[in-house]
Amino acid sequence: MTFTIIFLIAFIASFGLRHWLSNRQMRHVAAHRDAVPAEFATQITLAEHQKAADYTMAKLRLGTLENGVSAIILIAFTLLGGLQLLNMSLLQLLGEGIAQQIALLVSIVLISGILDLPFSWYKQFHLEERFGFNRMNGRLFVSDMFKGIGIGGAIGIPLLWVILSLMEQAGDLWWFWAWAVITAFSLLMQWIFPTFIMPIFNKFQALEEGALKTQIEALLKRCDFASQGLFVMDGSKRSAHGNAFFAGMGKAKRIVFFDTLIEKLNPQEVEAVLAHELGHYKCNHIRKRLLVSFAMSFGMFALLGWISTQVWFYSDLGVTPNPNGYNGGLALALFMLVSPVFSFFFTPLSSLSSRKHEYEADGFAADKSSANDLITALVKLYQDNASTLTPDPLYTAFYSSHPPAPLRIANLKRFT
């Protein structure tokens, strides 16, 4: 029962903290809804500022409801015996073995996905629609969903089979070999995802000849960045939000612009946004993030390797393990459900590191492109994406991967 108490304390604390931070953010945004911050007063209208405030609060309200439902699902799966019932039902149907354990994990993913489906639908076709961002129809939504399920199954089930086989046959150090497999798979996906998976969902066309391409190629030369190509993605068929990114590693790096980004920004501003993204690469942020993720997954697998052998881990979370049989999938399922409750408290560290990287990438962009162009691009993106200019400082410190708009713009002005 000791771990039950520890889990409940962490569960209540994490849920309470999420709720408190969301309420702080809503109150802070609402309190500043009727006045545009002075530094943005000449660029953003009061109506646009109020739209951003309303959009932010609408997303927070939906997020609060989602968190509440997720909390109920977690308790239902664990302390209320849902996982035990599902496990026993599949044992009766399939018997012991890896096939039953894979079925258990796939069932959890499918059940969670089904329960999340109404929220995804509401967010896309009500919330995003209400604020003018949705460009997706129901047919595309369903198509994306089934494509995601198919790809997830085609990749995930064989990977699960490998991990569960290692848990069964690789001895006490199975967790190390499982971590090595996941690490190799993650690196492989850096090439597979942009090359094979993304084109299943979106069309990519080579960036047309013209002023923008000329500027981008000159920027790449200044930054000594070799790319496989410059592409425009049809992001507009799903959303009005814009972005730019590069994907892949080594010689497979490709630069991608959302068509919505090119519509909204002039060539100089697009160049500045890309310079920021290149800054992440040139400042080794991507490599550092990969190394940190590998180190964290190493620790998580080591912990799973130990905790999966402890009877209390199962019994204190409402599950009865097979004392003489195979519990690999059961251990993975419990760990997958419970670990986010504890890892949530480390969110501010990840957010702090990410904001630091954003400042460094901005500095790189200011050096290789133009700080003024990046400022005007960011203001347009804040405006078009209805991003709040007045977030709560504590909410930002805990969650935000990017610095708040006033601080980010003020920092960029140092380079002008």
Binding-site residue set: 276, 280, 358
54 is catalytic: no
Q: In what order do the strands lie in the sheet with 254-258?
A: 204-206, 230-233, 254-258, 244-247
Three-state SS for the chain is CHHHHHHHHHHHHHHHHHHHHHHHHHHHHHHCCCCCCHHHCCCCCHHHHHHHHHHHHHHHHHHHHHHHHHHHHHHHHCCCCHHHHHHHHHHHHHCCCHHHHHHHHHHHHHHHHHHHHHHHHHHHHHHHHHCCCECCCHHHHHHHHHHHHHHHHHHHHHHHHHHHHHHHHCHHHHHHHHHHHHHHHHHHHHHHHHHHHHHHHCCEEECCCCHHHHHHHHHHHHHCCCCCCEEEECHHHCECCCCEEEECCHHHCEEEEEHHHHHHCCHHHHHHHHHHHHHHHHCCHHHHHHHHHHHHHHHHHHHHHHHCCCHHHHHCCCCCCCCCCCCHHHHHHHHHHHHHHHHHHHHHHHHHHHHHHHHHHHHHHHHHCCHHHHHHHHHHHHHHCCCCCCCCHHHHHHHCCCCCHHHHHHHHHCCC
CB 272 within 8 A of CB 370: yes
Binding-site residues for Zn(2+), in ranges, read: 276, 280, 358
Catalytic position from the list 277, 316, 373, 384: 277
What is the C-alpha R_g of the chain?
Answer: 24
How many other CB atoms are there within 10 angstroms of residue 263's CB atom?
A: 11
Residue type for position 272: A
Catalytic position from the list 362, 373, 384, 392: 362
362 is catalytic: yes
Please list the active-site residues: 277, 362
